[in-house]
Amino acid sequence: MSKKTTLRKVLRYVKKYIGLMIISVLLAGMIVALTLYMPIIIGNAIDYIIYGQIDFAGIKTLLIKGIFVVCATAAAQWIMNVINNKVTYHVVRDIRAEAFQKIEILPLNYIDSHSSGEIVSRVIADVDQFADGLLMGFTQFFTGVITIAGTLLFMLYYSRPITLVVVCITPLSLFMANFIAKKTFSMFKQQSETRGEQTALVDEIIGNEKVIKAFGQEGESLDRFDEINVRLQNYSLRAIFYSSITNPATRFVNSMVYAGVAVTSAIAVISGQMSVGMMSCFLNYASQYTKPFNEISGVVTELQNALACAARIFALIEERPQVEENENAVTLVHTNGNVVCEDISFSYVPDKKLIEHFNLSVKPGQNIAIVGPTGCGKTTIINLLMRFYDVNSGKIMVDGTDIRDITRKSLRTSYGMVLQETWLRQGTIRDNIIMGKPEATEEEIMAAAKAAHAHSFIKRLPKGYDTIIGEEGGMLSQGQKQLLCITRVMLALPPMLILDEATSSIDTRTEMKIQSAFAKLMKGRTSFIVAHRLSTIQNADVILVMRDGNIIEQGNHEELLAGNGFYAKMYHS
């Protein structure tokens, strides 16, 4: 994404606050006018003192004017800063909100192919960097440009030769600022990308600290971090080095401007064309004229960083969302659980085939077990049934309707999922259980917990169902987390179930009780069970044996054993 494109996108967000921006510009004009009027007051005061008898009455009048100008300038500056802050953080709020909304509708293949730390870095760190640059731009850019224009007009009014000297030297400063700006943008972009990579690594390491310690990977983790850290250091040093040249370079040019004004105005004073007070006024103008160049060059540097960060967040915002639902999408109300997969093919990567010409017909209330070696496509089938991914060809139908013609919410509400990986959010035990049924009564919650054999351990917690747990379950064991997820499904009682290694982290005694509870729960409900322990799926109505994305065997437990095929080998092994 080019700088111009990024800048246009930024202006699109700023456009919503055009009224505040106009007020800010008007205030900037007022501040500049008052600031430029102050040297005239000072120059007149000098003339009252130098020539003849000191005019105390005139000086008193100028002093009152000066106090009024200073107070008015300070008030206008404060109001302008408040407005600029408001616009900046409203724009940042809008961008973050849009980015988070986009994350909610991004297809899962984007989330799967980007680390969570890198995405978090875009939404948090990059937007913060962008805010800093934008705020500096609003605060200093407007006043700087207006100060330059206003100073030139005042100087041109009082002395054209001196103004000509200033105008001739100025382009050198602009050339330097432009040269450095072009250099720094790509460097700040690399810095921002590497910072995102570093955030992703830190997030990954902190989230898997137990695994790292268990496998003695501390040294390798440090090496990976050091490598990224060194790259970030190099990019940052280069970016900061070039951006740091800006200020001394423009200060050198500004000193040349000041010296040129001083020499030409001194000659004018000696020749009687200008008073000493007016010379003082011009020297003040020279300082005020050159000061914005330093500020604007700093702003330009910050803007390069801000635009580099903005480009990354806009790239996220403009990612292609998941396929939109059809306008006439059906809402499932009473689902029978009749599921048909008709000649479906799917692969995560186009050139690597996974599932091809898959066919399946599930009658309402049937228990379907899916078994097979790792990577054969078992979990992929679940992803397709839930429409986390869309099939490449063929179609999946629920109760005779293509799931692409069903609203995602009603489709997913019709399924209850218990996965091998648990998901719990920060809040009370009760909050995590009622996620699928917010209106559940206390009796219903406790009944579901008892059915899932979670009630006993919940009651032992400090505050029972009101115990607050942290993100990902806090200090609960993996088995306790899984029992809470099972309780959640027991409470919701959806018409269809998906159990993907649902009891993998539970002890054998509890697993037997859970299997009994699941047997009651699955009665009359279409259920899909993914399992590696074949002992847990012997009672399934139909067992699908998968290999390389295809069903190679199909039948119940006894039939498959009698066939002495792949399933029998898996079972006996």
Position 396 scores a pLDDT of: 92
Average pLDDT score over residue span 328-333: 85
Gap between the Cα atoms of 199 and 118, Å rounded: 6
**pLDDT tens for each residue of 267-296:** 877 877 777 777 777 777 777 776 776 666
Gap between the Cα atoms of 348 and 21, Å rounded: 47
The CATH class of 339-572 is alpha beta
Position 189 scores a pLDDT of: 77
Gap between the Cα atoms of 17 and 87, Å rounded: 7
Structure tokens at 112: 């799967």
Gap between the Cα atoms of 483 and 305, Å rounded: 48
DSSP string, 32-50: HHHHHHHHHHHHHHHHHHH
What sign does the CA torsion over 167, 169, 174, 177 have? negative
Residue 548 DSSP label: T
Cα distance from N-terminal residue to C-terminal residue, the chain: 55
Position 301 scores a pLDDT of: 67
Which residues are CB-contacts of 334 (< 8 A; sequence separation ≥ 6)? 495
Please provide the size of the chain in residues.
573
* Domain ranges (residues) in the chain: 3-317, 339-572
Residue 526, strand partner residues: 496
DSSP string, 149-197: HHHHHHHHHH-HHHHHHHHHHHHHHHHHHHHHHHHHHHHHHHHHHHHHH
Position 71 scores a pLDDT of: 93
**pLDDT tens for each residue of 407-424:** 888 888 888 888 877 788
Task: Count Cβ atoms within 10 A of the Cβ of residue 140 and give its class: 0-12 exposed, 13-18 middle, 19 or more buried.
Answer: buried
What pTM, to 2 d.p., does this model score? 0.65
Gap between the Cα atoms of 17 and 91, Å rounded: 9
**Domain spanning 3-317 has what CATH number?**
1.20.1560.10
Comparison of pLDDT for 118 and 30, the residue scoring more: 30
Position 452 scores a pLDDT of: 84
- Residues 96/269, Cβ–Cβ less than 8 Å: no
Position 15 scores a pLDDT of: 85
Position 79 scores a pLDDT of: 92
Confidence of residue 89 (pLDDT cuts 50, 70, 90): confident
Of 196-200, 265-269, 300-304, give the range with the top mean pLDDT: 196-200
Number of Cβ within a 10 Å radius of residue 2: 10
Which residues are CB-contacts of 357 (< 8 A; sequence separation ≥ 6)? 343, 344, 345, 394, 550
Phi, psi (deg, nearest 5) at residue 344: -90, 145
Gap between the Cα atoms of 247 and 239, Å rounded: 14
Cα 388 to the center of its chain, rounded Å = 21
β-pairing, 401-402 vs 355-362, is unpaired
Q: What is the mean pLDDT of the chain?
A: 82
- Residues 77/31, Cβ–Cβ less than 8 Å: yes
DSSP string, 426-451: SEEHHHHHGGG-TT--HHHHHHHHHH
- Residues 165/264, Cβ–Cβ less than 8 Å: yes
SS3 of residue 489 by DSSP: helix
Which residues are CB-contacts of 233 (< 8 A; sequence separation ≥ 6)? none
Position 294 scores a pLDDT of: 64
Average pLDDT score over residue span 44-70: 79
Average pLDDT score over residue span 94-115: 85
Average pLDDT score over residue span 244-248: 72
Task: Count Cβ atoms within 10 A of the Cβ of residue 216 and give its class: 0-12 exposed, 13-18 middle, 19 or more buried.
Answer: exposed
**pLDDT tens for each residue of 332-356:** 888 888 899 898 888 888 777 788 8
SS3 of residue 475 by DSSP: coil
